């Protein structure tokens, strides 16, 4: 297949910084009121927030009309929640508390070692400055700024862990104030609802998990991340030794690392590209946003809607307790979201799942599908890579099929100024960027409401409907389903040649994500959209990557619809689960003061 002819380049910037035409504003999906192009936040009825004693910004915005965004408490929020550790090495350890009094002593000590959002932000900014956002980044991927050698620690507790630590103290009744039923009941109890196998003999059934199944639920999850593995291991050794000496038991421990400098997961696709841009400020200094802004302020409302091009900004209450959520108007803060006790402010729910990946099975599926399709009209010459790109929605490099439907290009895949700049409802366009930044030049993504290019069932479309209409509404519905992913691969890569596998299939993703509601965000994405053959929109089918349909035994057949040229449809079918859950838990990641003053407190 060749590049589709006639792709419009009229909105592209010409290198050298000259715009050949005035950039066309993105055609916003107007299912949300108050977001019409050019409408100022003031016109949309924005009200300043000072509700519930939360220190919301009264400060000058960087632009007269930009929304007032709240300060996030950088010394309270754990750093893996925001901005995310995103280091090349990660380790997790799941523990149980046997002796509560001694565990509290340990927790008080660990609390002083937790890496905060403010600390992580500083180091992340150094990495960004070092690698830049432009095309030169390709050569700098995988390199670190001189002297950077962080080893960071975060902690989270399950409802069982909280129950032990709160019991008999001043906050004894507070566990019941956590509104989320998923969190209250735990991952193992919710596993069948996520579509995991219900057959107790299946590997993915909680009965067989390495931890987190019945009777093996963790109280505590430690997450460690480091620039260099040696330092990470050293810190983990210290923390583990202290935990064991304080009477905690290690249930499970595993490390993960980047497979290559792009950050591909085991199926071979660049992961960790699209993250919601968390709105909010670290300080009152102009431009001191949690999520850096790249769209030129002369381009409202896009400059107020996006961090990186195509990266929608989402109000922090969707992820961190005690901050405003999304409202109908994305430029207006919604209600403050505190779905737990007062001390849960600045905390976030953490979902951790150990997902084993059947790489050989996935490769066989795309190869056999390509072979079966390639002789058919509309699919002439399709390759396994082409099928894989339809199943994921991106090529191995990360280049979105919405921008390059017929071929991969690593330069697009690793360009943060371009690799997420697409929607599904409307044609996307290029905006001028700040500070001389320039995205590489590729065809603009075209509106794809029916999924002819990026199928409705493509993984990235199942878990983020972007601005397109979906069964729950439009953009706002997508915003309140977003998650902050913090995953890394475990196990060695499977070589290209089939044959001997020293890891015996034991490789996959240490999947972790943060959100303000496990039910409405992580669980909903799994069972509401990815595990539904019809939602968020038809003609769809199942998310073939996550691969679950909730049916026990051998009736786990999954299918999805994809399109060849001329909008010819075809159905992909498999009986195999390429991703098998093998452990995990639901946790709450408290603020630093909640750790010290509530959970480690003796009363
Ligand atoms: C082993 C299992 C998984 C694999 C191999 C996988 C792979 C990928 C890849 C390659 C991408 C595209 C790159 C990117 O935007 O980061 C992606 C995006 C994404 N994945 Fe997964 N994923 C897995 C599990 C999950 C799970 C369990 C969820 C939870 C619902 C999830 C949610 C997402 C989200 C929200 C995105 C971003 C979509 C967007 O905004 O465009 N993934 N994943």
**Ligand 1 atom 40, closest CA:** 274
Q: How far apart are CA 534 and CA 528, in angstroms?
A: 10
Which of left, alpha, beta for 593 (phi over 0: left; psi -120 to 50: alpha)? alpha
The answer to whether residues 584 and 194 touch, using CB atoms and an 8 Å cutoff, is no
The answer to whether residues 195 and 548 touch, using CB atoms and an 8 Å cutoff, is yes
CA of 16 relative to ligand 1 center, distance in Å: 35
Instruction: Please indicate whether residue 271, judged by its CB atom, sits closer than 6 Å to ligand 1.
Output: yes
Atom of ligand 1 nearest to the CA of 267: 5
Distance of alpha carbon 133 from its chain centroid, rounded? 20
CA of 459 relative to ligand 1 center, distance in Å: 7
Going by pLDDT thresholds of 50, 70 and 90, the confidence category of residue 76 is very high
Q: How far apart are CA 183 and CA 190, in angstroms?
A: 9
DSSP secondary structure code for residue 279 in this structure:
P
CA of 306 relative to ligand 1 center, distance in Å: 20
Instruction: Please indicate whether residue 460, judged by its CB atom, sits closer than 6 Å to ligand 1.
Output: yes
The answer to whether residues 65 and 40 touch, using CB atoms and an 8 Å cutoff, is yes
Going by pLDDT thresholds of 50, 70 and 90, the confidence category of residue 591 is very high
pTM of the model: 0.90
CA of 526 relative to ligand 1 center, distance in Å: 11
Going by pLDDT thresholds of 50, 70 and 90, the confidence category of residue 10 is very low
Going by pLDDT thresholds of 50, 70 and 90, the confidence category of residue 53 is very low
Q: How high is the pLDDT of residue 32? A: 37
The answer to whether residue 71 scores a pLDDT higher than 50 is yes
Quick one: average pLDDT of 329-351?
Answer: 97
CA of 374 relative to ligand 1 center, distance in Å: 27
**Ligand 1 atom 36, closest CA:** 460
Instruction: Please indicate whether residue 359, judged by its CB atom, sits closer than 6 Å to ligand 1.
Output: no
Instruction: Please indicate whether residue 507, judged by its CB atom, sits closer than 6 Å to ligand 1.
Output: no
Q: Is residue 477 assigned to a domain?
A: yes
- Return the bridge partners of 252, or none: 94
DSSP secondary structure code for residue 345 in this structure:
T
Q: How high is the pLDDT of residue 555? A: 61
Instruction: Please indicate whether residue 414, judged by its CB atom, sits closer than 6 Å to ligand 1.
Output: no
**Ligand 1 atom 8, closest CA:** 271
Q: Is residue 440 assigned to a domain?
A: no
Residue 556 has φ and ψ, to the nearest 5°, of -90, 30
Least confident of 47-51, 111-115, 374-378: 47-51
Instruction: Please indicate whether residue 484, judged by its CB atom, sits closer than 6 Å to ligand 1.
Output: no
Q: How high is the pLDDT of residue 412? A: 95
**Ligand 1 atom 35, closest CA:** 463
Q: Please indicate whether residue 429 or residue 48 has the higher confidence score (pLDDT).
A: 429
Q: How high is the pLDDT of residue 497? A: 62
CA of 511 relative to ligand 1 center, distance in Å: 9
**Best residue for ligand 1 mutational test, from 182, 190, 271, 518 (most atoms within 8 Å of Cβ):** 271
At 417 the three-state DSSP class reads: coil
Q: Is residue 90 assigned to a domain?
A: yes
Instruction: Please indicate whether residue 131, judged by its CB atom, sits closer than 6 Å to ligand 1.
Output: no
Domain span at residue 544 reads: 72-357+452-603
Structure tokens that stand for 71 in this block: 């300060």
Q: How far apart are CA 336 and CA 70, in angstroms?
A: 11
**Ligand 1 atom 14, closest CA:** 273
CA of 433 relative to ligand 1 center, distance in Å: 27
Q: Is residue 261 assigned to a domain?
A: yes
Atom of ligand 1 nearest to the CA of 272: 16
Instruction: Please indicate whether residue 272, judged by its CB atom, sits closer than 6 Å to ligand 1.
Output: yes
Q: Is residue 27 assigned to a domain?
A: no
Instruction: Please indicate whether residue 481, judged by its CB atom, sits closer than 6 Å to ligand 1.
Output: no
Quick one: average pLDDT of 298-322?
Answer: 96
pLDDT in tens, 375-395: 899 999 999 999 999 999 999
Q: How far apart are CA 11 and CA 25, in angstroms?
A: 10
Q: Is residue 37 assigned to a domain?
A: no
pLDDT > 90: percent of the chain = 71
Q: How high is the pLDDT of residue 43? A: 28
Q: How high is the pLDDT of residue 182? A: 98
Quick one: average pLDDT of 391-404?
Answer: 98
If one counts the domains in the chain, the total is 1
Closest to 26 (Cα-Cα) out of 435, 449, 310: 310
pLDDT in tens, 508-540: 999 999 999 999 999 999 998 888 888 888 778
Q: How high is the pLDDT of residue 45? A: 27
CA of 460 relative to ligand 1 center, distance in Å: 6
Q: How high is the pLDDT of residue 470? A: 87
pLDDT in tens, 264-307: 999 999 999 999 999 999 988 888 999 999 999 999 999 999 99
Q: How high is the pLDDT of residue 374? A: 94
Q: Is residue 563 assigned to a domain?
A: yes
Q: How high is the pLDDT of residue 552? A: 57
Instruction: Please indicate whether residue 511, judged by its CB atom, sits closer than 6 Å to ligand 1.
Output: yes
Q: Please indicate whether residue 548 or residue 37 has the higher confidence score (pLDDT).
A: 548
Give the long-range contacts of residues 401-408, CB within 8 A, separation 24 or more: 401/453, 401/454, 401/458, 402/428, 402/445, 402/446, 402/448, 402/453, 402/454, 403/442, 403/443, 403/444, 403/445, 404/442, 404/443, 405/4, 405/453, 406/1, 406/2, 406/3, 406/4, 407/3
pLDDT in tens, 495-504: 866 667 878 8
Q: Is residue 542 assigned to a domain?
A: yes
**Best residue for ligand 1 mutational test, from 182, 267, 274 (most atoms within 8 Å of Cβ):** 274
At 130 the three-state DSSP class reads: helix
Instruction: Please indicate whether residue 89, judged by its CB atom, sits closer than 6 Å to ligand 1.
Output: no
The answer to whether residue 173 scores a pLDDT higher than 70 is yes
Atom of ligand 1 nearest to the CA of 269: 10
Going by pLDDT thresholds of 50, 70 and 90, the confidence category of residue 551 is low
Q: How far apart are CA 578 and CA 580, in angstroms?
A: 6
At 163 the three-state DSSP class reads: helix
CA of 272 relative to ligand 1 center, distance in Å: 7
Locus of tokens 């085991």: 266
Going by pLDDT thresholds of 50, 70 and 90, the confidence category of residue 129 is confident
Q: How high is the pLDDT of residue 550? A: 59
Atom of ligand 1 nearest to the CA of 274: 15
Least confident of 8-17, 352-361, 424-433, 482-491: 8-17
Count of beta carbons in the 10 Å neighbourhood of residue 326: 27
């Amino acid at each position: 297949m060749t590049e589709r002819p006639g792709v419009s380049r009229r909105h592209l910037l010409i290198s050298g910084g000259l715009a050949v035409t005035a950039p066309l504003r993105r055609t916003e999906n107007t299912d949300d009121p108050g977001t019409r192009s050019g409408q100022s936040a003031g016109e949309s009825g924005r009200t300043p927030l000072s509700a519930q004693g939360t220190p919301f910004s009264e400060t000058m915005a960087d632009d007269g009309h930009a929304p007032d965004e709240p300060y996030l408490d950088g010394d309270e929020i754990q750093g893996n929640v925001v901005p995310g550790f995103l280091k090349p090495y990660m380790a997790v350890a799941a523990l149980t508390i046997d002796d509560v009094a001694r565990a509290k002593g340990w927790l008080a000590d660990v609390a002083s070692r937790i890496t905060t959002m403010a600390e992580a932000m500083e180091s992340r900014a150094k990495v960004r400055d070092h690698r830049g956002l432009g095309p030169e980044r390709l050569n700098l991927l995988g390199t670190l700024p001189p002297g950077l050698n962080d080893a960071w620690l975060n902690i989270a507790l399950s409802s069982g862990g909280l129950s032990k630590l709160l019991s008999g103290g001043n906050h004894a009744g507070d566990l019941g104030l956590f509104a989320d039923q998923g969190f209250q009941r735990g991952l193992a109890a919710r596993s069948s609802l996520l579509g995991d196998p219900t057959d107790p003999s299946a590997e993915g059934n909680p009965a067989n998990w390495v931890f987190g199944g019945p009777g093996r639920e963790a109280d505590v999850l430690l997450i460690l991340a480091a620039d260099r593995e040696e330092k990470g291991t050293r810190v983990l050794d210290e923390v583990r030794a202290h935990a064991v000496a304080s009477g905690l038991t290690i249930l499970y421990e595993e490390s993960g690392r980047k497979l290559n400098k792009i950050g591909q997961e085991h199926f071979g696709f660049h992961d960790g590209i699209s993250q919601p841009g968390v709105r909010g400020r670290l300080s009152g200094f102009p431009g001191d946003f949690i999520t850096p802004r790249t769209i030129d302020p002369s381009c409202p409302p896009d400059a107020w809607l996006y961090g990186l091009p195509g990266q929608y900004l989402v109000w922090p209450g969707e992820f961190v307790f005690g901050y405003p959520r999304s409202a109908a108007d994305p430029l207006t803060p919604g209600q403050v979201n505190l779905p737990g006790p007062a001390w849960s402010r600045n905390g976030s729910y953490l979902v951790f799942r150990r997902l084993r990946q059947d790489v050989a099975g996935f490769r066989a599926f795309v190869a056999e599908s390509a072979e079966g399709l390639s002789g058919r009209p509309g699919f002439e010459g399709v390759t396994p890579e082409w099928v894989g790109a339809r199943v994921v929605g991106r090529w191995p490099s990360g280049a979105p099929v919405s921008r390059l439907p017929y071929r991969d290009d690593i330069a697009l895949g690793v360009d943060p100024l371009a690799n997420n700049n697409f929607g599904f409802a409307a044609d996307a366009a290029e905006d001028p960027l700040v500070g001389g930044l320039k995205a590489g030049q590729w065809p603009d993504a075209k509106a794809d409401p029916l999924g002819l290019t990026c199928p409705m069932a493509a993984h990235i479309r199942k878990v983020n409907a972007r601005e397109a209409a979906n069964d729950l509404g439009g953009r706002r519905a997508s915003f309140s389903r977003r998650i902050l992913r913090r995953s890394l691969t475990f196990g060695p890569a499977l070589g290209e040649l089939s044959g001997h596998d020293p890891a015996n299939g034991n490789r996959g993703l240490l999947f972790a994500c943060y959100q303000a509601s496990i039910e409405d965000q992580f669980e909903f994405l799994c069972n509401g959209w990815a595990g539904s053959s019809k939602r968020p929109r038809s003609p769809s089918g199942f998310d073939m990557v996550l691969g679950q349909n909730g049916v026990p035994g051998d009736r786990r057949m999954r299918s999805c619809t994809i399109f060849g040229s001329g909008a010819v449809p075809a159905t992909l079918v498999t009986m195999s689960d390429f991703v098998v859950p093998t452990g995990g838990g639901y946790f709450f990641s408290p603020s630093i003061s909640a750790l010290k003053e509530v959970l480690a407190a003796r009363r």
